[in-house]
Structure 1
Amino acid sequence: MDIELLQAQVGLWNLTYGYLKTMSLKCALDLGIPDAIFNNGQPMTLSQLHSVLSLPPSKKSHLYRLMRLLAHIGFFIEKNASACSEPVYDLTAQSRLVIEKNDSANMFPFVRCALHDIWLRSSLFMGDWFMRDSEQNPFELANGSTVWEIVSQEPVVNKMFNDAMVSSSCMFNDYIVKYGDEIFKGIESLVDVGGGKGAMAEVIAKNFPHVRCTVLDLPHVVCDNPNDGIVNFVPGDMFNYVPPADAVLLKWVLHDWSNEDCIRILRRCKDAIPSREAGGKVIVLEVVVGSTSAMISEEPQLLLDILMLTVAEGEERDENGWKYLFTEAGFSSYKITYAIGFLSIIEVYP
């Protein structure tokens, strides 16, 4: 067997068992390992970690095997142990993102939601879905309902989903604050369509007081949100009506929907804003596939596209796909800024 074939076999092996990286991450979060190391205030030995997690004595050697893999893929740091000492574990930038006490960049709710059974089951039905001439997507085949039906009917899932959306906003907040003077120049009012609990709108309102922020979302999403004067919450359906404002914000909304539905949403947004000369625009925060050649940023774009294939009716679009939507919805031009990792800011003008 030649070297090329051996390398191909190794690559295939890694693809075949790559899901165990994800499951090991889920296990680490279920056990609370990142928080345990963080709360300790310094790196921890295997024995310390085993003790703090209150695991049975029989699981100590298996904990080492779990930590060895997670350190190998860069989620933890393992300091080499000598022949007479134990390995010591510390956090990395990745594992710090899932510390629950990390208020500035806490991705724990997002990751916890992404690794819930209802999403994981969907991927098992991809092959079956491809072979069926059916309107049901893999999520519906796996769970018996659409994602939106489950979110609206099951309070636990609804909370988990909305907490995840709040968590995802932390990726955008610093950029919005840093470059908001340009983004919100001349804008006095903004509607965050599908803005959930208002995390992004609150950041905008607090840092740019001249912008009056409103969140439009479904009644079961906004029913418990207080209208405290910082952000105004309006229950409604974006397919039917968007409140008038100088600008409309769509963060991770359009990728959930088909081209036809996106055009309907965008037309409602266009109806809500003034002309370009009067400062009207739609601000879209989404993936633009192919906007980066960096592997670390390109791969999440493609993975998110397959996620949309399995759980919703949408997709992650390249620039031509976005251009088609904006043109069909009646917009005259757009500007893309590649700014936030694998995500982009698109300013769309009537």
Structure 2
Amino acid sequence: MECKSEERVSKLLRAQTHVWNHIFSFVNSMSLKCAIDLEIPDIIHKYGETMPFSQLTASLSLNPSKANCIYRLMRILTHSGFFSQLQVNENDLEMGYVLTDASTLLLKDNPLSMLPFFHAMLDPILTKPWHQLPTWFRNDDPTPFHTAHEMKIWDYAGRDPKLNQLFNDAMASDAQLVSNVVIERCSGVFKGLESLVDVGGGTGIMAKAIAKSFPHIDCTVFDLPHVVANLKGCENLKYVGGDMFESVPPADAVLLKWILHDWNDEQCVKILKKCKEGIKRKVIVIDMVVESEEEDFESTETKLLVDMVVMVLYPGKERTEKEWAKIIFSAGFSDYKITPVVGLRSFIEIYP
């Protein structure tokens, strides 16, 4: 009887820990935000070697009474994998900090910096809708964002320069990272193309990388007029304003990078049909495929988290291969090929 009781208590305590971890999971992102606002990653990077704790606190211009609390901030962020703690040297017992691969992606001067994406996702404009999630489940609003702000996110961005800038910068930073991977790993996807339209291409980071790496391809960035206003192209790159639900400029191929997950199935079918009207070769989609068999726990969790973000901000979702096939064939395409080579996202080549 005692063994059964001990097992029950152990299960209860493990369950309590699990619940606490989820209750306090916001502490990870808020702690990281604090470190970024204090410029800790950049300070350690500029130091150039293992930075002693005393040197770090001296560099932060802190209130003297708060200096010891930095250790607690660095402790949780070290546990989370954003810093590594090392002994400064063999003759010194003081510990210091170095960056990890993750924190390197949060440096201001890193060409692949994720800072703009980080700042956008944690801005109050985009976090406020989460508090409306239960209300949204009971009303007929299209998204929790709409419940919180009384308009769709695209309408809000069209009226609010701050959100428009945050969103464009976030997508540009993501495109910078993805384009590097795409050019290095997936150049064969662009073989034989003479023209390409990047639908929803924002400020054109992805299209610029393609235009530079494949100068024989004429690239067009196609996005809403307020997004591409005042943007200038180059020899084989131009910007065109318009609405992808109305028409898409003709080309050998159309690129849809992280676009279709923003929309429901009916809207995706409409977008794909507009793409099909003008393409000669294929549609290239860069997006997530969820519930993949060969996937680790962390990747699955990240995809499910992103799916919830999409549900809260847009009328879309992350899709399984079966769900991708449904909208692809519903739009009148004959075949597709999925290649998981862009980290959490895959190349989905769709053929007319």
TM-score, normalised relative to structure 2: 0.93
Unpaired runs of at least 5, structure 1: 275-279
**Which whole-Å CA distance do the structure 1 matches of 2:218 and 2:205 have between them?**
14
User: Does the CA-based 8 Å contact 1:171-1:340 persist in structure 2?
Assistant: no
Alpha-carbon deviation of 1:244? 0.3
Counterpart check, 1:234 vs 2:235: no
Alpha-carbon deviation of 1:23? 0.9
User: Does the CA-based 8 Å contact 2:223-2:242 persist in structure 1?
Assistant: yes
**Which whole-Å CA distance do the structure 2 matches of 1:344 and 1:180 have between them?**
11
Q: What is the match of residue 301 of structure 2?
A: 299
Alignment match of 2:32 (pick from 22, 25, 28): 25
Q: What SS is found at the alignment partner of 2:332? A: coil
**Which whole-Å CA distance do the structure 2 matches of 1:28 and 1:145 have between them?**
33
- Report the residue type matching 1:266 in the other structure: L
**1:88-167 to 2 correspondences below 5 Å:** 88-103=96-111, 105-130=112-137, 132-167=138-173
Q: What SS is found at the alignment partner of 1:317? A: coil
**Which whole-Å CA distance do the structure 2 matches of 1:143 and 1:135 have between them?**
11
Deviations 1:93-138 (A, max 9, x none): 00000111011x21111111111111111112112212x2312421
Q: What SS is found at the alignment partner of 1:111? A: helix
**Which whole-Å CA distance do the structure 1 matches of 2:163 and 2:64 have between them?**
35
User: Does the CA-based 8 Å contact 1:285-1:343 persist in structure 2?
Assistant: yes
Q: What is the match of residue 86 of structure 2?
A: 79
**Which whole-Å CA distance do the structure 1 matches of 2:301 and 2:74 have between them?**
25
- Report the residue type matching 1:143 in the other structure: H
**Which whole-Å CA distance do the structure 1 matches of 2:264 and 2:34 have between them?**
34
**Which whole-Å CA distance do the structure 2 matches of 1:169 and 1:35 have between them?**
22
Q: What is the match of residue 11 of structure 2?
A: 4
User: Does the CA-based 8 Å contact 2:185-2:341 persist in structure 1?
Assistant: no
Q: What is the match of residue 15 of structure 1?
A: 22
- Report the residue type matching 1:308 in the other structure: V
**1:153-302 to 2 correspondences below 5 Å:** 153-274=159-280, 280-291=281-292, 292-302=294-304
- Report the residue type matching 2:34 in the other structure: C
Deviations 1:203-244 (A, max 9, x none): 111111111100000111101211222411001111101000
Alpha-carbon deviation of 1:254? 0.5
Q: What is the match of residue 56 of structure 2?
A: 49
**Which whole-Å CA distance do the structure 1 matches of 2:54 and 2:147 have between them?**
44
Count, aligned residues: 342
Q: What SS is found at the alignment partner of 1:125? A: helix
Q: What SS is found at the alignment partner of 2:251? A: coil
- Report the residue type matching 1:41 in the other structure: G
Q: How high is the sequence identity, in percent, across the aligned residues?
A: 45
Q: 1:143 to 1:63 in 2, by over 3 A?
A: farther
Q: What is the match of residue 326 of structure 2?
A: 324
Alpha-carbon deviation of 1:252? 0.5
Q: Which moved more, 1:43-52 or 1:90-99?
A: 43-52
User: Does the CA-based 8 Å contact 1:202-1:230 persist in structure 2?
Assistant: no
Q: 1:127 to 1:54 in 2, by over 3 A?
A: same
User: Does the CA-based 8 Å contact 2:83-2:98 persist in structure 1?
Assistant: yes
Q: What is the match of residue 277 of structure 1?
A: none
Q: Which moved more, 1:255-264 or 1:40-49?
A: 40-49
Alpha-carbon deviation of 1:180? 4.1
Deviations 1:255-286 (A, max 9, x none): 00111111110000000112xxxxx1000000
